[in-house]
Amino acid sequence: MKLSDGFDARRLRPRGPGSWRWRIAAAFAALVAGFGILLAMAGAATLLGRPPALGTLNDSTGSAVTLLVIGLLCLWFGVAGWRIARRRSRRRNDLSLSPGLMKKRD
């Protein structure tokens, strides 16, 4: 079946207002992930025998391990939050797609 020349699919579902809240949430989550990377690098540097990167904050091995674990947790939470915010910002209110289909579209 041939479509007429006057058909415009974009007119059927007009774009709604921008999702600036989810963009701010994604930016904050990316900052948390970046902070986690820096903390994990500082803890790993102390464990590998390099001079302490944060002064007296991670002089001992126990505090270096604590920094490494906190950094990895911040990285994990930041990446998870960024993925959730990105998925929510791309979701439309018109259609209800399953998460499996969204994964293939990203």
For the segment 20-27, the average pLDDT, to the nearest whole number, is 90
For the segment 21-34, the average pLDDT, to the nearest whole number, is 93
For the segment 67-96, the average pLDDT, to the nearest whole number, is 84
Rank 15-24, 71-80, 85-94 by mean pLDDT and report only the highest. 71-80
pTM of the model: 0.67
Higher per-residue confidence, 97 vs 25: 25
Query: CA dist 77 to 15, 26, 60, 65, Å?
Result: 31, 12, 26, 18
> Which H or E run contains 38?
helix 20-47
Task: State residue 4's pLDDT score.
Answer: 60
Cα dihedral 66, 71, 74, 79, rounded to 10, equals -150
Percentage of the residues of the chain whose pLDDT score is greater than 90: 32
Higher per-residue confidence, 83 vs 102: 83
Please write the tens of the pLDDT for every residue from 32-53. 999 999 999 988 888 888 766 6
